[in-house]
Amino acid sequence: MNLTGAISKRSLDHMTRGSLIRAMFERGRLLKEQVGAANVHDYSLGNPFNEPPPALVQAAQRMWADPRPGMHRYMSNVGFDDVREQIAASLNARHGLTHPLNKNHVIMSCGAAGALNVVLKGVLDPGDEVLVPRPYFVEYDFYVDNHNGVINPVETDANFLPDLNKLEAAIGPRTRVILIDSPNNPTGVIYPESFLRSLDELITRAEEKFGHYIYLLSDEPYAGLAYDGVTVPSVLKNVRHSIVGTSHSKDLGLAGERIGYIAFSPRIDDVQQLFNACALHTRTLGFINAPAVMQRVVAEFQGEVAGLADYEARRNLLYQELRGMGYQLVKPAGAFYMFPESPIPDDGIFISEALKRNLLAVPGYAFAGPGYFRLSFAERTLEDIARSLPVFRELATQYGLRGWV
Amino acid sequence: MNLTGAISKRSLDHMTRGSLIRAMFERGRLLKEQVGAANVHDYSLGNPFNEPPPALVQAAQRMWADPRPGMHRYMSNVGFDDVREQIAASLNARHGLTHPLNKNHVIMSCGAAGALNVVLKGVLDPGDEVLVPRPYFVEYDFYVDNHNGVINPVETDANFLPDLNKLEAAIGPRTRVILIDSPNNPTGVIYPESFLRSLDELITRAEEKFGHYIYLLSDEPYAGLAYDGVTVPSVLKNVRHSIVGTSHSKDLGLAGERIGYIAFSPRIDDVQQLFNACALHTRTLGFINAPAVMQRVVAEFQGEVAGLADYEARRNLLYQELRGMGYQLVKPAGAFYMFPESPIPDDGIFISEALKRNLLAVPGYAFAGPGYFRLSFAERTLEDIARSLPVFRELATQYGLRGWV
């Protein structure tokens, strides 16, 4: 007989929501089969290209070459004590934290996605709200829904900085989390220190108004990828009730190994209760603990970034050329994305036109930012970018952009 | 001001539910501090003692020593194609599957806990039911609640086999999953092939009655740990609508590395929809993918088991001695647990008495099996066991058990 319910209705809903982007990736895949991958200008994927630092690879090799009994066993769900102590010390030193973290403020995680899910599970009850500046990484919708929360996008200004008045107005009695991502996916914007300080004041006012904690949850996988010598301002330094979720996918080129951490501001009065809840959820959501060997491997490489100069050269070339052609865009200060305005209001149509010329990009509506499109230069070498420029130029001409070249 | 809501109410509920066991572990930890770990007979922890096979360690070392570009990057959320193909081929060969699996029936997971969460998310809508034979691994409560399901324990017989009539009677219109664990934690029981066949018929009848899929979800981290030369009967072979979630934590001694897989029966008509849902949830629950290097490492060691003879010798010694003292227990056929009857009805009191003699075990009520207690010999050497026997004997005498020694 024909049975129903092979998957849950909720799964079906999630799959439908993800289907537009999947269809686009599928078109890209087919295109590569048709014309050859080398002939496709693929700016759609955010897969970091950089390899881990050679010293890190050697450290991992040494660890496997000289096995210690018990090194692959379960440890505490929050990770190894010494690793967490090293990460706390590195954060304290790099950001000059006057309220220093110790190992009881760090939980090792399976990357940033694992970290965010654990924290959201720890703080959201059904119907609780998460505010997110728009445009935002589309997966946040799923992370929040996983834990029965509700996502509430907040407008940003022309520079993709959240409008503080609108943000404050959006905070209601069910708001538990403000979720940010700096350097930002998809815009590449870095939130300045002054903005974080204002955010701290805003959160304090809202907490006094509503009587409960409101956390700034900072998704920081791109924190190491900041250009022009900039250091990304620290939320732990500037925001009392902040929580960082991050990974070493991008800075250390370890995306496939699923290693990152959660760091809690010591200025959260109930930080140990929050830590304990997140320790429990690390276990019960099925992570159990971050991969053992990778914990020890990354501990020694805190603050290092592999491949930064390459990414910066790519950003410089692509930004300069697109500006010259007349594309309107904010210069990305970090990450490996840029988010230009679509030359026509319907970014879906623009992306289809680009696809006809073998150029793949993601429409802004996929990030709740219609009227824009996202370019990822994560996998594009300078040569790749140079080869793609005529296509960008053709599109600029087609839509009457006025450049200076 | 004092703020409320540092964690969600749901987190608080989960922490409270977990607190009895945590309190017990905490007492154990304090005891070890007081009298020295060597003087505590700790049968409470399920941390596998076995190291990975030396050839596996060498394979991992070679992989790091000869790095290939891209080996640490993101791959498909379901894992590497070649790894999944190898696992499918190994399952087909080891179990003689006449409905063979291929790579489209295997998703690499972050251990069994990750696998179960992904599958439950894929098939449960809020209020849907999961039937579990009692006693059961206490974490199942959390896994099911994570995805808003309801757990419904079903009685087992004197040999800890589910009563098929009671199981069938318990299936209702909201039942989506029957969750089993064989070899079982906490009982060590292996479900025989005839039982699985009956279960298949029972599920088919229930599916015809209710019109929707009902899956047998088999949690199999102990599948490699079967004693007396037994092979654990395959659910994929015997149950049409079966899904396996497993890990290499126990068979390959890799608990800390979080590597396992989900295997779907090819006889599920809508298996590709189910596969796609679980692929999406692997990503959106925050796992993204199973750790990259570990995927390739375990692919070559499918079906191998490290340390089996050691575990079996421990089981033999402990079982024989406890039986001789008059403890009532089912001989564990696999895993590294046994689940004797408490000599007195209140297993909590018995465990407290044992603790006074520096013997740690887990009361049965922690597994929804009051009146019993769980002993884990995962970390107990033959010498450890021998040293603990006088304590078991004292307790037997205290409660008037009649042994033959």
* Together in a domain, A96 and A217: yes
C-beta atoms of B118 and A286 within 8 A: yes
Of B274, B299, B324, the residue at which a domain comes to its end is: B299
Q: Over 90: is that where the pLDDT of B29 sits?
A: no
Whether B405 is in a domain gets the answer no
* Together in a domain, B150 and B264: yes
Task: Tell me how far CA of residue A308 lies from CA of A220, A226, A329, in angstroms.
Answer: 16, 8, 22
Is the bond preceding A135 in cis, omega lying within 30 degrees of 0? yes
Q: Over 80: is that where the pLDDT of B165 sits?
A: yes
Q: How far is CA B241 from the centre of its chain?
A: 20
Q: Over 80: is that where the pLDDT of B23 sits?
A: no
**Backbone region of residue A135 per phi and psi (left: phi > 0; alpha: psi in -120 to 50; beta: other values):** beta
* Together in a domain, B150 and B231: yes
Distance from CA of B147 to the nearest CA of A (A): 8
Of B73, B128, B146, the CB nearest to A256: B73
Q: Cβ neighbours of residue B172 under 8 Å, at least 6 residues apart?
A: B129, B210
Structure token pair of residue B180:
């089993």
* Together in a domain, A16 and A82: no
Structure token pair of residue B161:
């086999």
Whole domain around residue B344: which residue ranges? 9-52+307-398
C-beta atoms of A72 and B257 within 8 A: yes
Please state the ipTM of this predicted complex: 0.96
Whether A405 is in a domain gets the answer no
* Chain A residue at shortest CA distance from B10: A125
For testing contact with chain A, the best of B25, B62, B73, B174 (most A CBs within 10 A): B73
C-beta atoms of B211 and A291 within 8 A: no
C-beta atoms of B47 and A268 within 8 A: no
At position A287, the amino acid (one-letter code) is: F
C-beta atoms of B256 and A121 within 8 A: no
At position B369, the amino acid (one-letter code) is: G
Whether B111 is in a domain gets the answer yes
Q: For residue A232, what is the DSSP state? A: P
- Spell out which residues of chain A touch residue B18, defining contact as CB-CB under 8 Å: 280
C-beta atoms of B75 and A146 within 8 A: no
Supply the mean pLDDT for chain A.
96
- Spell out which residues of chain A touch residue B72, defining contact as CB-CB under 8 Å: 51-52, 253-257
* DSSP assignment of B12-76: HHHHHHTHHHHHHHHHHHHHHHHH-GGG-EE-------PPPPHHHHHHHHHHHHSPPTTTTS---
Q: What is the pLDDT of residue B363?
A: 94
Distance from CA of B8 to the nearest CA of A (A): 4
Whether A392 is in a domain gets the answer yes
Alpha carbon distance B50, B248 (integer Å): 12
Averaged pLDDT for residues B68-89: 96
* DSSP assignment of A153-210: EE-B-TTS-B-HHHHHHH--TTEEEEEEESS-TTT-----HHHHHHHHHHHHHHHHHH
> In this predicted model, what pLDDT tens digit does every residue of A37-79 receive, in sequence order?
899 999 998 888 899 999 999 999 999 999 999 999 999 999 9
C-beta atoms of B110 and A286 within 8 A: yes
C-beta atoms of B74 and A258 within 8 A: no
* Together in a domain, B311 and B346: yes
C-beta atoms of B65 and A61 within 8 A: yes
Say which range, A245-249, B30-34, B183-187, B271-275, has the weakest mean pLDDT: B30-34
Whether B1 is in a domain gets the answer no
Q: What is the pLDDT of residue A205?
A: 98
Confidence of residue B405 (pLDDT cuts 50, 70, 90): low
CATH number at residue A28: 3.90.1150.10
* Together in a domain, B95 and B31: no
Supply the mean pLDDT for chain B.
96
Q: Over 90: is that where the pLDDT of B403 sits?
A: no
* Together in a domain, B254 and B290: yes
Cβ pair A367, A292 in contact under 8 A = no
Q: Over 70: is that where the pLDDT of A84 sits?
A: yes
Q: Over 80: is that where the pLDDT of A200 sits?
A: yes
- Spell out which residues of chain A touch residue B116, defining contact as CB-CB under 8 Å: 286
- Spell out which residues of chain A touch residue B288, defining contact as CB-CB under 8 Å: 110-111, 113-114, 255, 258
* Together in a domain, B37 and B102: no
> In this predicted model, what pLDDT tens digit does every residue of A164-188 receive, in sequence order?
999 999 999 999 999 999 999 999 9
Distance from CA of A24 to the nearest CA of B (A): 16
Whether A3 is in a domain gets the answer no
Confidence of residue A405 (pLDDT cuts 50, 70, 90): low
Q: What is the pLDDT of residue B18?
A: 76
* Chain B residue at shortest CA distance from A119: B7
C-beta atoms of B8 and A125 within 8 A: yes
Alpha carbon distance A40, A32 (integer Å): 6
Helix (H) or strand (E) holding A61: helix A54-65
* Together in a domain, A389 and A259: no
Alpha carbon distance A367, A160 (integer Å): 13
Number of domains in chain A: 2
φ and ψ at residue B375, rounded to 5 degrees: -110, 130
C-beta atoms of A47 and B116 within 8 A: no
Q: How far is CA B373 from the centre of its chain?
A: 17
Of A299, A327, A360, the residue at which a domain comes to its end is: A299
* Together in a domain, B22 and B114: no
Of A272, A299, A326, the residue at which a domain comes to its end is: A299
Say which range, A19-23, A252-256, B79-83, B266-270, has the weakest mean pLDDT: A19-23
Q: Over 80: is that where the pLDDT of B5 sits?
A: yes
For testing contact with chain B, the best of A1, A2, A11, A276 (most B CBs within 10 A): A11
Of B118, B208, B255, the CB nearest to A72: B255
* Together in a domain, B146 and B226: yes
* Together in a domain, B363 and B288: no
CATH number at residue B261: 3.40.640.10
Structure token pair of residue A268:
């959260």
Whether B404 is in a domain gets the answer no
Q: How many CB atoms lie within 10 A of CB B46?
A: 23
For testing contact with chain B, the best of A9, A56, A73, A269 (most B CBs within 10 A): A73
Q: Over 80: is that where the pLDDT of B22 sits?
A: no
Of A7, A148, A276, the CB nearest to B274: A7
C-beta atoms of A284 and B67 within 8 A: no
Whether A149 is in a domain gets the answer yes
C-beta atoms of A6 and B249 within 8 A: no
